[in-house]
Amino acid sequence: MSNHFTGLSLGPPLDDQRLDLCDLYVFQSPADSTRTVIILNANPSADGFHPDAIYRLNIDTDGDCLTDVAISYVFSPVTDGRQTASVFIAKGAEARSAEAVGQKIISDAEVSFAGAPQIVAAGPYRFFAGSRGDAFFFDLDGILKLYDTKGGRNFTSPQMGGKAPWTGIDSNLEANVGSMVIELPTAELEPRPLIRVWGRCSLRRDGKLLHVDRAGHPSVSSFFNTDDTKEEYNASEPVNDRNRWLAQFVHLMGHTGDYSDDEAVRAIDAEGILPDMLSFDPSKPAGYPNGRLLTDDVLNNRLAFLSKGEIPHDGLKPHTDLLSVFPYIGAPHPKTA
């Protein structure tokens, strides 16, 4: 939940866990390197998807930060413990509509809440939606020790005091999440040579779509935003990121890593975190920041980036319940009372 835990003080969008985007993953299919897997996770309660929301993958293929391919997921209400999903793909100018438009490639697929994953194959596409074990690993209590609750920001200073904050406990070891997994031919995404991907959740209210959450680089939105700016950030578009957010990011890095302004800009550019879109060159092995694997240690990457290498590794390892076959993310954990 590298994007979700931004909400420790702010809470989930509109106080609804179903609208909370948690993580975005992009990598080559382990079985066929000519196919790309994209996973968008939402809802850390894993009890279904919002029926009035559009969960969306935005894919830029030509480097202008505008959507060239849009994959939209819409869901029925949960009725008698069941829910269905439909998937749309739009390309070109149509992909820039906020609505779920384009070709409907999957209709009324069953959402999996328990047991074996219900996988849908439709032409060149494979799709899954449902509850799965959360792959993101992190030490929540350790993170809280790095927070400055008086500073007005989610993360302002390592405050190490010479002692590592880590407990050695993976707070997500038995956590679940709602997953939307699609696998498709990479050629359909027309990488030139790479693609840039970001997720969005929009809610229909009073006849309008409200953009309530977004997901790109892991832990960027989480650490770089304040409670005052998070809602604006969630509603904004990557094409405007650098102009709107660069100064805020640079200012924060001066606190967290004693970066000069020039050093911070160079580090941001080297990491490629603005605009906040996950880049993926499918001709190269996946591994953050080239896409993101389910095993990538993204939290320690981000903390090292913020602190200029001063925060030590938390010692946690990737989860061992991941699958080598579709839908790749592990089975849901039993719910505890």
Distance, in Å, from the CA atom of 164 to the CA atom of 314, rounded to the nearest integer, reads 8
What pTM, to 2 d.p., does this model score? 0.94
Question: What residue spans define the domains of the chain?
Answer: 4-307
CA atoms within 13 A on the CB side of 73: 31
Distance, in Å, from the CA atom of 75 to the CA atom of 93, rounded to the nearest integer, reads 24
pLDDT tens sequence for the chain (337 residues): 556 544 445 678 999 999 999 999 999 999 999 999 999 999 999 999 999 999 999 999 999 999 999 999 999 999 999 999 999 999 999 999 999 999 999 999 999 998 899 999 999 999 999 999 999 999 988 888 776 443 433 444 444 455 678 999 999 999 999 999 999 999 999 999 999 999 999 999 998 999 999 999 999 988 888 888 999 999 999 999 999 999 999 999 998 889 999 999 999 999 999 999 999 999 999 999 999 999 999 999 999 999 898 888 999 999 999 999 999 999 999 986 5
336 CB-contact burial (10 Å; exposed 0-12 / middle 13-18 / buried 19+): exposed
CB 245 within 8 A of CB 224: yes
112 CB-contact burial (10 Å; exposed 0-12 / middle 13-18 / buried 19+): buried
Q: Give the SS3 label for residue 42.
A: strand
